[in-house]
Amino acid sequence: MPLEIERKFLVTNGSWRACADAGVKIAQGYFGSPEKASIRIRIQGDTANINIKSARLGISRHEYEYPIPLEDAEHMLAELCVGPSIEKVRYHCDVDGHIWEIDVFEGDNAGLIVAEIELGSEDETFTVPDWAGDDVSHDPRYYNVSLLKHPYKQW
């Protein structure tokens, strides 16, 4: 069963840009109520996926992701998803052999910058770069599905 092990940190300064790639624009929307799982459509650049992620809190969650046609994803985002899309630009930084994803949010979540790292196990060691601040892995406010209902601009 696919398991995502992910740590999430607030970004405290812009020094991450020195190691970042060009970034890719992401738009994602969610279906229905997220009590048991979040079901989302994500358009990332010119590709699209459907993703199902268990709703339990913590750094380990079941996750399933499958490619879908871009045209279908565009239709689902426009017609079937709840509320506005989450919009962000995702950058990647290699820090001591681990790839960090830095999400710079736009729209209702502008001003929020979050860095994530996927791990092979919950106790895997990794370097926390100087631009990564508070660990918010256990704070549900920072889940993308939560940002849809309670955008950062309302905090």
Q: In angstroms, rounded to a whole number, what is the distance separating the alpha carbons of residues 84 and 70?
A: 18
Question: 101 and 115 in contact (C-beta within 8 Å)?
Answer: yes
Active site residue 142: no
> What is the pLDDT, as a whole number, of residue 88?
98
Question: 4 and 61 in contact (C-beta within 8 Å)?
Answer: yes
Record the pTM: 0.91
How many structural domains compose the chain?
Answer: 1
Question: 81 and 27 in contact (C-beta within 8 Å)?
Answer: no
Range of the domain at 57: 3-154
pLDDT tens digit at each of 155 positions of the chain = 688 999 999 999 999 999 999 999 999 999 977 778 889 999 999 999 999 998 877 889 999 999 999 999 999 999 999 878 899 999 999 999 999 999 999 999 999 999 999 999 999 999 999 999 999 999 999 999 899 889 999 99
Q: In angstroms, rounded to a whole number, what is the distance separating the alpha carbons of residues 65 and 74?
A: 17
- Compute the radius of gyration of the chain from its Cα atoms: 15
Which DSSP helix (H) or strand (E) runs through 146? helix 144-149
> What is the pLDDT, as a whole number, of residue 96?
96
> Count H helices, E strands: the chain?
2, 9
Q: In angstroms, rounded to a whole number, what is the distance separating the alpha carbons of residues 29 and 40?
A: 5
- Residue 121, classed as helix, strand or coil, is coil
Report the CATH number at residue 41. Answer: 2.40.320.10
> What is the pLDDT, as a whole number, of residue 148?
87
Rounded (5°) CA angle 143-134-13: 100
The DSSP call for residue 150 is S
> What is the pLDDT, as a whole number, of residue 145?
86
> What is the pLDDT, as a whole number, of residue 138?
93
> What is the pLDDT, as a whole number, of residue 99?
98
